[in-house]
Amino acid sequence: MIQKNSPLPIYYQLEEGIKEAIQQQELIPGEMIPSEREYAEKYGISRMTVRQALSNLVNDGYLYRQRGKGTFVAHQKIEQPLQGLTSFSEDMRSRGLEPSTRVISFTEVEASHDLAAKLEVEAGALLFELKRVRLADQLPMAYEMLYISKELAQGLTKEIAVNSIYDYVENKLGLKIQHGRQVLEASIARKTEAEMLEVAEGAPVLLIERRTTLDTNKPFELVRSVYRADRYKFTIDMERL
């Protein structure tokens, strides 16, 4: 993969070669890559050059280092466009990943004044409160807590929440989820979130709050999700104003 007479710098050729190997799945996420010394010997190049290539790949999120162990291939981030209102299950399936869900809790609570106002129900009305870990190909991606009015999501059960809630309310209850408003913030994983997402406490996460409404304008759900920042990135298409 290295051509010494090429006008391209050697570190750059090595970088591109490693990226290519990741794309071709010759290097698999979670796998340890050869050491600096091994690359240097294999291609007859200096360790400094190898170090530069690997550092760039770490900074760009292709590789990650574990102190005392080595350098590993990172899981590629999922890129989520922010224009359509989609469910987690749809998002993962559209990428060829298998969604799954761990329902951590499924309870009924009485709406506080604040929740009642946001969901446009009477204070004290019953709400479903759900906590779920969402996984893609068995890897935890997000931890979400949601509130939905019990009156709207009739018959919702824990078993249904293991699959797709949007699928249930749209295809079984015949409701139409129409509109969503989402707020994104940078944050760090608190203790419980870190456990659920299998990251260290304090690891970077993306905090997302979503409120959706039905075609009748009635609020449907309030969701607070914590996404692993090492597995997710969001893209927004913009038109010049």
Rounded Cα distance between 1 and 128, Å, is 56
Quick one: 87 or 213, whose CB is closer to ligand 16G? 87
**223 lies in the binding site for ligand 16G (CB under 6 A):** yes
Q: At what angle do helices 36-43 and 47-59 cross, to 10 degrees?
A: 120
Q: Please report how close the Cβ of residue 193 comes to ligand 16G at its closest, in angstroms.
A: 14
Q: Please report how close the Cβ of residue 146 comes to ligand 16G at its closest, in angstroms.
A: 5
**164 lies in the binding site for ligand 16G (CB under 6 A):** yes
Quick one: 71 or 164, whose CB is closer to ligand 16G? 164
**49 lies in the binding site for ligand 16G (CB under 6 A):** no
Q: Please report how close the Cβ of residue 186 comes to ligand 16G at its closest, in angstroms.
A: 15
**149 lies in the binding site for ligand 16G (CB under 6 A):** no
Q: Please report how close the Cβ of residue 36 comes to ligand 16G at its closest, in angstroms.
A: 40
Site string for ligand 16G, 129-148 (x = CB under 6 A): ---------------x-x--
Q: What is the DSSP letter of 77?
A: P
Q: Alpha carbon 214 to chain centroid distance?
A: 25
The correct pick among 133, 208, 226, 229 for binding ligand 16G (CB under 6 A) is 208
Q: Please report how close the Cβ of residue 144 comes to ligand 16G at its closest, in angstroms.
A: 6
Please list every residue from 64 through 93 that binds ligand 16G, using CB under 6 A: 87-89
Sorted by sequence, the CB contacts under 8 Å of residue 6 that are 6+ apart come out as: 13
DSSP secondary structure string for all residues of 189-236: --HHHHHHHTS-TT-EEEEEEEEEEETTS-EEEEEEEEEETTTEEEE-
Amino acid type, 129: E
In DSSP terms, 68 is beta-bridged to none
Among 63, 55, 61, which residue's Cα sits nearest to residue 77?
61
Amino acid type, 176: K
Quick one: 49 or 89, whose CB is closer to ligand 16G? 89
Among 94, 90, 23, 102, which residue's Cα sits nearest to residue 57?
23
Q: What is the DSSP letter of 74?
A: P
**193 lies in the binding site for ligand 16G (CB under 6 A):** no
**221 lies in the binding site for ligand 16G (CB under 6 A):** yes
Quick one: 39 or 166, whose CB is closer to ligand 16G? 166
For the chain, helix (H) and strand (E) counts, in that order, are 8, 10
Q: Which residues bind ligand 16G (CB under 6 A)?
A: 87-89, 144, 146, 164-167, 208, 210, 221, 223, 225
